[in-house]
Amino acid sequence: MSILIGVGVVTTITTFYLGKKGWQAFHKAVGITPGVLTYQDYNAPLSLSKISWQQLNLTQKHLKSLPEQQLRQLQRIDAKVHHYQAYQKELQAQNKTPAVTESQFVLHKMLHTRLPEMLASHHQLIHTQTNFENTNNEKKAEAGELLQKVLNNIEQRLDKLLEQIEAQHLQELRVLNDYIDSHDS
């Protein structure tokens, strides 16, 4: 009788232990932590102190005068640059040296040199006080429009570059598929 009770206790403890480990493994596999619930409201106003940049090297001071729409656009640009950089690192890990096209070179120059320069100029213009308030407001509005135009241009270039990468990968898959199909017989 005591052997049956001992086996029952060991079976129960083992079942609970394996169940708990399985439950934790399931949560880890789907990317959540049990007992921790976090909700991110994407419509909440952005806080500069909470924004982290993955790839872009931007001065916080220059971002203070930007409207939320432009901050969100900068975050999207940063995420796209991160995807592109991950692709470049993946190629390097495969010992492939990608050829740098003119559009990639121009985009790199725009992101890492011209964008910080424009943000600095925009910040200086916004914080410059003159005696002519109407003229100053017109200049600030024009500066905002020019900055928006540059951000749109950069984002469009990134979109085109990422689309080219996707198309290249799809083409490689098609070529491999055709090669395998031609050697099936």
pLDDT tens digits for range 130-150: 555 655 778 888 888 999 999
Position 89: which residue type? Answer: K
Residue 45 three-state SS: coil
DSSP-assigned states of every residue in 51-77: ---SS----HHHHTTS-HHHHHHHHHH
How far is the C-alpha of 73 from the C-alpha of 108, rounded, in Å?
17
| Res. 4 pLDDT band, cuts 50 70 90 | confident
How far is the C-alpha of 2 from the C-alpha of 5, rounded, in Å?
5
Mean pLDDT across the stretch 57-70? 86
Mean pLDDT across the stretch 174-182? 89
Burial of 71 (0-12, 13-18, 19+ CB in 10 A): middle
Note the pLDDT of residue 149.
Answer: 94
Burial of 90 (0-12, 13-18, 19+ CB in 10 A): exposed
Is the pLDDT score of 164 beyond 80? yes
Mean pLDDT across the stretch 44-62? 75
Name the nearest CA neighbour of 58 among 170, 166, 151, 172: 151
| Res. 34 pLDDT band, cuts 50 70 90 | low
Least confident segment among 16-20, 104-108, 171-175? 16-20
Mean pLDDT across the stretch 151-175? 91
How far is the C-alpha of 42 from the C-alpha of 166, rounded, in Å?
27
Mean pLDDT across the stretch 97-115? 87
Position 9: which residue type? Answer: V
Average pLDDT over the chain reads 83
How far is the C-alpha of 184 from the C-alpha of 47, rounded, in Å?
58
Is the pLDDT score of 13 beyond 60? yes
